[in-house]
Amino acid sequence: MKQIGSNELNSVFNLLNVILTMKLIKILRSFVFVALMGTVLFSVNSCQDDDESGNIGFGTVVGTVTDADGTPVSDVTVTISGVNEEDITVTSGTDGTYTADNVSMKTHAVKFSKEGWLTVSVTVTAEKFDANKVVAANATLVNASAKITGTIIDAKNGGTPLADVTVSVGPAGSATSGSDGKYEIGNMVAADYTITFTKANYVTITKAIVKDDFVDGVVSLDVQMGGQELLRGLTADDLSGADKWYYNEYRGGGNADAYPHWDWACDYMCSLTFWGNWEEQWEGTTLRIRNDEDQRSNPADLDVFDSYTYGSKLITEDNKIMSLRIRTHNADEASPAYFGVQVIDLSAAQPTAVKVGDTKTWGSGNYTDFDFDLSDYVGKEVIIAVGIYRQQTGDYWKQLVLRAIRFADRKVENWDWLPGTDVVDGWKLSIETARSTMPHIKSSFTGISPISAGRNVSMSDGYPVAYHAWRDVAHVGAEWSFVPLRKDPEVFPSEGYIIKTRNTPDVDTKVPESYLYAKFSIASGHNQLTFSTRNFGSNYTFFKITAIQDNGTVTHLTPQSNTAQEASAANDGCWKFKHGDGGAGNPEGYASFVYDLSQFNGENVTIVLGVYNGAANTGENKLVIHTIDLN
């Protein structure tokens, strides 16, 4: 037998591999073909099954469109949108109903829109179609026929119309001014808004409007852009809406240097308006040089504030001397902080920022007092700004700590009360102070804080945020002046702002433990005061509302009516009451005390609300300030 060599053997193996491979490919091709045919058949059967079961098919969307009162809204465009599908659009009829046929029974967004109404959307899904292939999608529309209109003029070019200004009210809408300077933002709900006017190379202007500004659904708001900056970042137009400094004393910081006048809970300076870099500290409200890394190249400037606080103040003979109680951080005698006061008379033909006295310097951690003479502005309401200057460029970090801003007819020093003749002995409220307090332009106030801050929060974060939130709701802590004669308040309870008594044997219904005051112009339609309140526990709370006329006449008021659970007159014009109802979730539960002020029609009157220790050793009897309304 012939012996096969290794080369011949390899050839045989190669031939067998080829044959086997071809057979395997043929088998695999047959298998794949069968598998594919099975898939096609399965798919066809599945589609047939879906059609027969009705899971994928077409149905009808129906619904009714009404307003908030349930009244049908006609001519509403109803748009039904689905993924990778053309929109289906129908319109509601006179009865508010609509019907959309041939809608695939899948997930759809149903949008309801009409000029003058807020657009709303609802979602329908496959499982919401009923056995008759019908799904209901109803909508309630909110009337949004209000609008903001106005004209923007260009101060850089002789008051000509300014085009291409972006006018924005945030999510509520935006518009761009045309060649005639006019703009309009429609489809709005009458409410409170902040409006910004922005254009490249112009100072951005911010305006605030409130719901009551809408007259017949329209606010007309004209602005001037391109005006000269009078304070850093602010033009005359900006400053025309400055917050008013109604009162003659503003205290900053939280150290109890002379309790209770300077207690932590009496720090409301940080509810004022600030520009630049500022922080609330235990030592005071601090104006600081803007010194982030990208700001260190800012040039030195001893004429324009780097950071400041400002407000609109009526100057009289009674408050023409402004006193600042200050200290500094990051400064010493060799390298002090530079600061000062500037005044802007917006009624001048060409308003400018005028320095009051020379630029001041201080470089010590010890408190001291500086005074500024505002006699040139007696009889005028002017913008007053207190600020810190950048004395040099580079890494320059100084802090001016404001412990007090005070106004009187003379310099005020140390931790003293404002000087003058008390309207009532022991009240520390002088006739001069009451007379020079500015009448308030607001008439409704709350004691409920939108944000709360407890004693354990950061002074630099928690308190300023909480206090600053008061500005948005007309909180009594920001809008009235608080005077703690003997006892500090409770600032952030959920029931309202609380003033209270000490647990003391000293009974006194003539001098309050503490009080708040504000001044109002009393007139027909603006001469009824309603005070909403409650207290806690089984003891009476003694309080009194007092009216002080500019001539110094003091009248303790008697409520015309009240809804307290228990209430009666007490000594020296006080009233005592018990009422345990009312809270954040139950505003209707508070007791109301109503006062008739019509005897003061035509006058400016300072209203004082105080709590008194009318019974000995009864603990901290609390007076909750929920709301105060003058109407």
Split at pLDDT 50, 70, 90, the class of 456 is: low
Cα separation, 192 vs 505, whole angstroms: 48
Query: Among residues 134, 199, 210, 136, which one has the least CA distance to residue 167?
Result: 199
Cα end-to-end distance, the chain, whole Å: 130
Burial 340-356 (b: 16+ CB within 10 A, else e): bbbbbbbeeeebebeeb
pLDDT higher than 70, residue 333:
yes
Query: What is the average per-residue pLDDT within 82-94?
Result: 94
Lowest mean pLDDT segment, chosen from 30-34, 476-480, 519-523? 30-34
414's tokens: 């140390």
Query: What is the average per-residue pLDDT within 600-626?
Result: 97
Q: Residue 321: CB partners within 8 Å, gap ≥ 6? A: 371, 372, 373, 374, 407, 408, 409, 410, 411, 412
Which of 196-205, 268-277, 559-568 is most confident? 559-568
Given this model, what pLDDT does residue 235 score? 87
Given this model, what pLDDT does residue 265 score? 79
Residue 27 host element (H or E): helix 6-53
Query: What is the average per-residue pLDDT within 548-568?
Result: 98
Given this model, what pLDDT does residue 455 score? 64
Split at pLDDT 50, 70, 90, the class of 350 is: confident
Which of 127-131, 141-145, 383-387 is most confident? 383-387
565 — phi, psi (to 5°)?
-65, -40
Cα separation, 391 vs 336, whole angstroms: 9
Given this model, what pLDDT does residue 319 score? 98
Given this model, what pLDDT does residue 56 score? 66
CB atoms within 10 A of CB 17: 10
pLDDT higher than 90, residue 132:
yes
The DSSP annotation for 307-335 comes to EEEEEEEE--TTS-EEEEEEEEES--SSS
Cα separation, 344 vs 305, whole angstroms: 13
Lowest mean pLDDT segment, chosen from 174-178, 197-201, 396-400? 197-201
Q: Convert the pLDDT of each residue in 568-581 to its tens digit.
A: 999 999 999 999 99
Given this model, what pLDDT does residue 156 score? 81
Query: What is the average per-residue pLDDT within 422-439?
Result: 98
> Contact, 427 vs 546, CB < 8 A?
no
Beta strand ranges found along 189-281 (DSSP E)? 193-198, 205-209, 218-220, 223-225, 229-231, 234-235, 249-251, 273-275, 277-281
Cα separation, 206 vs 47, whole angstroms: 61
Query: What is the average per-residue pLDDT within 177-189?
Result: 94
More reliable by pLDDT, 417 or 49: 417
pLDDT higher than 60, residue 26:
no
Lowest mean pLDDT segment, chosen from 140-144, 290-294, 525-529? 140-144
For the chain, the average pLDDT equals 90
Cα separation, 308 vs 243, whole angstroms: 14
Cα separation, 78 vs 89, whole angstroms: 6
More reliable by pLDDT, 350 or 581: 581
Lowest mean pLDDT segment, chosen from 7-11, 330-334, 396-400? 7-11
Q: Which domains does the chain have, with CATH numbers?
A: 58-141 (2.60.40.10), 146-227 (2.60.40.1120), 249-419 (2.60.120.680), 444-630 (2.60.120)
DSSP-derived 3-state class of residue 260? coil
Burial 564-573 (b: 16+ CB within 10 A, else e): beebeebeeb
> Contact, 126 vs 98, CB < 8 A?
no
Q: Convert the pLDDT of each residue in 590-608 to its tens digit.
A: 999 999 999 999 999 999 9
Residue 496 host element (H or E): none
Q: Is the dihedral of CA 211, 214, 219, 223 positive or negative?
A: negative
Q: Convert the pLDDT of each residue in 275-310 to its tens digit.
A: 999 998 989 999 999 999 999 999 999 999 999 999
pLDDT higher than 90, residue 55:
no
404 — phi, psi (to 5°)?
-160, 140
CB atoms within 10 A of CB 212: 8
Q: Convert the pLDDT of each residue in 96-115 to its tens digit.
A: 999 999 999 999 999 999 98
